[in-house]
């Protein structure tokens, strides 16, 4: 189990090292680096997530626990949005970013 998880994540540090290597030797300019990052974000990460989901055992997932976790993330995200927007007087866009950051950081 641990080996399969690590092998699924192994391409990302390798791609980061490849980007650092290309940047250090001036093979990539800023535009190439942006294109490389977009490829990683829109192609490579979804492929790894798709592979992980399709190979996982879905019968062992506890739906009640997952639902309570989702509710907790939603509540903390909305609370962070409300506090940021109403008390700290930030724009809705910035409050949304804070709400998502707080809500999604509860995943760790």
Kindly report, residue by residue over 36-69, the tens digit of the pLDDT. 878 887 888 788 778 777 877 778 778 898 899 8
Q: Is 99's pLDDT higher than 90?
A: yes
Q: At what angle do helices 11-24 and 45-55 cross, to 10 degrees?
A: 170
Q: Using pLDDT thresholds of 50, 70 and 90, give the confidence band for residue 24.
A: confident
Q: What is the pLDDT of residue 84?
A: 95
* pLDDT higher than 60, residue 94: yes
Band of pLDDT at residue 76, cut at 50, 70 and 90 = very high
30 CB neighbour count, 10 Å cutoff: 8
Q: Mean pLDDT throughout 21-30? A: 83
- How far apart are alpha carbons 4 and 6 in whole angstroms? 5
pTM: 0.51
49 in Cβ contact with 66 (< 8 Å): no
CA distances to 11, 24, 90 from 31, rounded to whole Å, are: 22, 15, 32
Is the CB of residue 102 less than 8 Å from the CB of residue 84?
no
């Amino acid at each position: 189990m641990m080996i399969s998880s690590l092998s699924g994540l192994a391409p990302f540090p390798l791609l980061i090292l490849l980007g650092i290597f290309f940047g250090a030797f001036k093979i990539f300019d800023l535009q190439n680096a942006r294109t490389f990052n977009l490829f990683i974000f829109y192609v490579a990460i979804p492929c790894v997530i798709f592979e992980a989901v399709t190979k996982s055992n879905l019968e062992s997932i506890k739906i009640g626990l997952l639902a309570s976790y989702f509710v907790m993330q939603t509540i903390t995200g909305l609370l962070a949005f409300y506090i940021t927007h109403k008390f700290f007087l930030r724009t809705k866009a910035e409050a949304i970013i804070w709400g998502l950051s707080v809500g999604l950081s509860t995943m760790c």
